[in-house]
Amino acid sequence: MGGFFMAMVRHCCPRSHCTEFIMKSEPQETAKPWYKEPLMLLVLGIPFLAVIWGGVILSLALSTKDSLVSDSYYKDGVSYTENQEAFQAASRLQAQADLIFTNDEVRLQLRGYFDEKPNTLQLQLIHPTLEDRDLTVFLQKMTDGSYAGVNDMELPDRRRLWLSSPEQGWQIRSTELIMPEQTVTLSYQ
């Protein structure tokens, strides 16, 4: 069909006008620059976004605190043996404790086979992820045999509870959701 069109043009037009008509009527393809091609934007865009995302992750890693990672691996390894001895001592004494938290106080009843109940107990309230929210409460023995200490924690909250007696060398642990005015029981088992 293109040949027929060219023959008609040659037949109808004088020679000088034919080439001008043909040049104007044929579509000319112009090459786009490489940066205007959609496929090139896709090919270059994905690695560019990966580099940007990597920079964001790197800045987050450098600016946030990694409190879940222990700085003292050797100390933790040595304390593992000591902790096992403390758990065994709690098991021998069959140590159990009932804790009641209020907004400003912690009350504790200690049960077990103690020759003499300790004068002070140490209660560590360890936050699952944020080290700066960990609390240590020292509980003093009251005249009625219970223990009391100051609560600085907002309730309700989920915590790891470590109750220990530095005097007698025992420790019991649990992970609990602490609600106000509800009893939390820690046991040697």
96: domain CATH number? 2.60.40
- Cα–Cα distance between 181 and 187 in angstroms, integer? 19
Domain count along the chain: 1
**Beta strands, E only, 23-156:** 96-101, 105-111, 120-126, 135-141, 147-150
Q: What was the pLDDT predicted at 109?
A: 94
What is the model's pLDDT at position 122? Answer: 93
pLDDT of residue 50: 96
DSSP structure class, residue 32: P
> 100 is in which domain, residue-wise?
78-187
Q: Is the N-terminal amide bond of 38 cis, ω within 30° of 0?
A: no
Residue 62 in any domain: the answer is: no
Burial of 103 (0-12, 13-18, 19+ CB in 10 A): exposed
Nearest to 186 by CA among 105, 70, 101, 128: 101
Rg of the Cα trace of the chain?
A: 39
What is the model's pLDDT at position 66?
Answer: 67
DSSP, collapsed to helix, strand or coil, labels residue 11 as helix
pTM: 0.60
pLDDT tens-digit profile, the chain (189 residues): 555 555 555 555 555 555 555 555 556 677 888 778 888 888 889 999 999 999 999 999 888 876 665 555 555 555 655 678 888 888 898 999 999 998 889 999 999 998 888 999 999 988 888 888 888 999 999 999 899 999 888 888 888 899 998 888 889 988 888 888 999 998 887
Residue 106 has which token pair?
Answer: 């912690």
Q: Does residue 119 sit within a domain?
A: yes
- Closest to 105 measured CA to CA, from 67, 61, 146, 164: 146
In a domain, 139, yes or no: yes
Asked if residue 45 belongs to a domain, the reply is: no
Give per-residue pLDDT as tens, 126-179. 888 888 888 899 999 999 989 999 988 888 888 889 999 888 888 998 888 888
**What is the widest separation between alpha-carbon atoms in the chain?**
127
pLDDT given for residue 55 in this prediction: 96
Count of alpha carbons within 13 angstroms of residue 66, beta-carbon side? 6
Residue 58 placed within a domain? no
Q: Are 188 and 95 in contact (CB under 8 A)?
A: yes
pLDDT of the residue at 68: 60
Type of residue found at 171 = Q
Asked if the structure places residue 30 within a domain, the reply is no
Q: Does residue 162 lie within any of the structural domains? A: yes
Is 167 in a helix, a strand, or coil? Answer: coil
Of 149, 175, 150, which is closest to residue 160 (Cα–Cα)?
175
Residues in CB range of 46: below 8 A, 6 or more apart: none
Say what the pLDDT of residue 114 is. 86
